[in-house]
Amino acid sequence: MEEPLRLKFSVAYWTAWGDSLVVCGKGALMGNWDPQKGQPMTCHHEGQELVWEATVEVPALEDFAYKYAVVNSEHKAVRTEQPQRQLQIPASLPALASIELQDAWEAESHPSNLLSKSAFTNAIFLGRPTSSGSHLQEISPAPDSVIVRFQTWCWTAHEGDKLEVVGSIQQLGRGDRALELTEIDMPTWAGQVSVPVGAFPFTYRYRLTSQDGKQQEQVGEARTVSLPADGLSTSDQPALIVRSDGPFTSAQMWRGSGIAVPVFSLRTNSSIGAGEFSDLKQLADFCAVTGIRLIQLLPVNDTSVYLMWWDSYPYSCVSVFALHPLYLSLDGLSGNVPGDIQDAIDEARSMLNDKDVDYEATVSTKLEIALCIFERQGSKDLETPEFQEFFERNKNWLEPYALFCVLRKLFGTTEHWRWGTLSTPTPDMIARLTCPSQEHYSSLQFTYYVQFHLHKQLLEASQHAARQHVALKGDLPIGVSKQSVDTWMHPNLFRMEYSTGAPPDYFDRNGQNWGFPTYNWEEMSKDGYAWWRQRLSNLSQYFHAYRIDHILGFFRIWEIPGSCSTGLLGHFRPSIPHSADDLNEHGIRDTDRLTFPYITWTILQEIFGRNAAEIVGKYLIEFKPGYYRFRPEVDTEQKVEEIQPRAGSPDWLQKEMAQIRTGLGMLHQNVVLLPKDQDRSAFYPRIQLMDSSSYQALDGGWKQHLTWLHNDYFYHRHNKLWSENAFRTLPVLMGATNMLVCGEDLGMIPSCVPPVLQQLGLIGLRIQRMPSEENQEFGNPARYDYMTVASPSCHDTSTTRAWWEEDAERRERFFYLALGLQGKPPAHCTPAIMRTIVRQHLQSPSILAIFPMQDIMALSPTYISRPAHEETINDPAVRRHYWRWRMHISLEDLLSDTDLIGDIQELMLGSGRCQESDLPVLHTQ
């Protein structure tokens, strides 16, 4: 029997009170990777560190794998290191040798871990030559010496770069020469030396030297290596000390840039009516030559709910898997299109070459022509092994989606709850209605055909971008349409009687009601959130990164009753409402006064003026002198929205009716408390209740108590609950793929959000006009954290040029205070002003600076002739906004504009967000 090895594990980690560390690994002795069965560790203080240790005897092996975990008082895992640690054991070690493993905790949230995501490994760093796979040179133990192995990992080293260890002992050069490390397994670098016992303790640092001789030192203090204790006998001293120091961190952390644009906004000489997936290739070429490393898109899933321009809203998916036919390239359907069809394609390209997207005409035209091609040639595509592989891999969502499209046409609506016996699909029903014997089978096949080609075209564009070292960043909408395939197939996963939205914020003082059902998280958790994992796995075929839309929804969602049309009367879910007993303790007993709309004659006159009496006669009931309630036919916001004039009514009548709807809506919102259930045993405070005239009419005592209850509910009561909720869901999303994850964390941010995002290693968003700091009008990019995306604006705000023209006083403050410029601010945002804003963001510490395409074009005087307000993509205050902005210049024009390319290159190089070696061609002006 071989003699065992003695492994002494040591790692510094500050635990919460009651938590402790364990080390686990393969085999029963190490708990078979189960933290509950791992080897317990004990702790002691070393200076400012809390160091955990454990000693384990293991059989002699060539290698050994392990990792650390934090467990609570019940021995349940609280946090686990993600990567497994690999220990290569030298064959030359003597029997009964002792190995000291002096580790740094591998925090998943460390910024350097971002560089291991597919945005970098599969795109930005794709094909970067390395020396990975080299072997660590063996060293035989010398008498009275200890082998010391140094390990770190680094993603940013290029071919020919040297990662070295310099130290205070002769073996590490004492600063004159260094130990050069070997890249043994990307991105792990290691090297080892034999150190006499008398040379301990000693200090060392890591250093990265590039081919041109430039050096980057590790940040922080030098590290110290000591023998475990003084006076050790020769038999007790370790034969090997392994220093696993985690990531190499220098002051020059990787930073890059990106461009944000919806696919539909792209324009090329070949696209028809809207941008297409194929156009992303030319956009990637433009990014590559300018040093931009990421393209950020809006959602690209099918949104065909109403079969009209309302479907231009890209966040209301009819399927979270199907791609939108709007982005189909007809030229890509066949290499040999019949002449008459080619004529139709050319005519469509000419007719739909408008300033903005004509959504309805573009979608219908593309599908009509695609159907013609399919009927003549499509059957050949469906017989190919490539299609068969696509179909088998995706049939679990593709068949229900195709059938949904057929039923949508049959019933004339996507309100699937009106489809009779077909409202509740089963696997047998789906199989029966999608079998080849069905008379509608050719319609199903056409849907398969379109989705197959959309998949091929987007995948090809993604692969082209990756070859250009440009990552594609997708968008994960917070919701799905109530009238979707997903709610039809999985109704148990959704709360259909509620809607998702946002409380009042920068975008809308009445809050937003997006109309999506809220998620039944309790049901989703039963299968480990399989729907989410499948959704993200599908997304990862095409994208290297993604943005979580409204990431706050994974902490708590703003849930709105289905009877509401705005977002003001919502509440947070999960949340803890105030019980009737809570209210009683505050002396509040008349809940009817606070929960029914407070309507008095004075309020009616303030809102409706001389029409107040007419409003009372049509819509209200006087239940006591001077006080009113709604008639049943208008007793919800939703019913009020249904008050519409007859079709063809004159403009003055339509305007008057709109004013009446607005006024009645204001009355509905004039409440202080919202009952949780019909039994009225618990209540939510109405957000911003202090602004309501109902609140203003109360006596001072009630006001004081209600203000306290309001602030407790919205700002204090739920931090622990919401943190726990986020930790249940977000790690599942992040662990489903290796995509880089960014979160849209704008709006009303609870105090629990930043520490959770930091702990999970999630990148946040900073919009300069929407600062995250309180009492600040504008954000300061120079103060942004590294783990953020810096942007001047986004698709939900006006563009920089448009915003510049909206408010002269605010523009002046921005000009002087945010940009630090002098003189008189111009009335329009000039290319020089835009260049200053772009440079300010590029010089921020943020890992990514992402600019809307409109801002990139605004760098050139050639492209600012179009009125600025026309470039706005979305206005969140408009419930039915038409998403149709399209570039007024082609990507071919941008690619041939050497002046603009040179300007952008100069900005990128000057900010350190790209290197000259990253640029295929360096254009000069």
Answer for the pair 257, 913: CB distance below 8 angstroms, yes or no.
yes
| Mean confidence (pLDDT) of the chain | 93
- Asked if residue 102 has pLDDT above 70, the reply is yes
The pLDDT, as a whole number, for residue 616 is 95
- Asked if residue 923 has pLDDT above 60, the reply is no
The pLDDT, as a whole number, for residue 492 is 98
Q: Which stretch of DSSP H or E encloses residue 630?
A: strand 627-630
- Asked if residue 228 has pLDDT above 80, the reply is no
Answer for the pair 310, 880: CB distance below 8 angstroms, yes or no.
yes
The pLDDT, as a whole number, for residue 1 is 42
Closest Cα to residue 41, out of 74, 8, 66, 17? 8
Average pLDDT over residues 84-99: 85
How far is residue 3 from each of residues 95, 98, 849, measured CA to CA in Å? 6, 12, 56
The pLDDT, as a whole number, for residue 142 is 84
**Confidence label for 130 from pLDDT (cuts 50, 70 and 90):** low
Q: Give the CATH fold of the 5-247 domain.
A: Immunoglobulin-like (2.60.40)
- Asked if residue 304 has pLDDT above 90, the reply is yes
33-42, 213-222, 376-385, 483-492: segment of lowest average pLDDT: 213-222
The pLDDT, as a whole number, for residue 922 is 43
The pLDDT, as a whole number, for residue 600 is 97
Percent of the chain with pLDDT over 90: 80
- Asked if residue 231 has pLDDT above 50, the reply is no
The pLDDT, as a whole number, for residue 925 is 36
The pLDDT, as a whole number, for residue 2 is 64
Name which residue leads in pLDDT, 184 or 814: 814
**Confidence label for 493 from pLDDT (cuts 50, 70 and 90):** very high
- Asked if residue 234 has pLDDT above 70, the reply is no
Query: So where are the chain's domains?
Result: 5-247, 573-714
pLDDT tens string 257-294: 999 999 999 999 999 999 999 999 999 999 999 999 99
Q: Which residues lie across from 163 on neighbouring strands? A: 208
110 is written with which tokens?
A: 């460390």
DSSP helix, strand, coil percent of the chain (3-state; round to 5): 40, 20, 40
Answer for the pair 903, 862: CB distance below 8 angstroms, yes or no.
no
pTM of the model: 0.92
Average pLDDT over residues 694-706: 94
Answer for the pair 181, 191: CB distance below 8 angstroms, yes or no.
yes
The Cα–Cα gap between 343 and 110 comes to 56
- Asked if residue 566 has pLDDT above 50, the reply is yes
**Confidence label for 577 from pLDDT (cuts 50, 70 and 90):** very high
157-161, 340-344, 914-918: segment of lowest average pLDDT: 157-161
- Asked if residue 138 has pLDDT above 90, the reply is no
Q: What is the bridge-based pairing of β-strands 764-767 and 788-791? A: parallel
The pLDDT, as a whole number, for residue 92 is 80
The pLDDT, as a whole number, for residue 3 is 74
**Confidence label for 924 from pLDDT (cuts 50, 70 and 90):** very low
Burial class (CB in 10 A: 0-12, 13-18, 19+), 400: buried
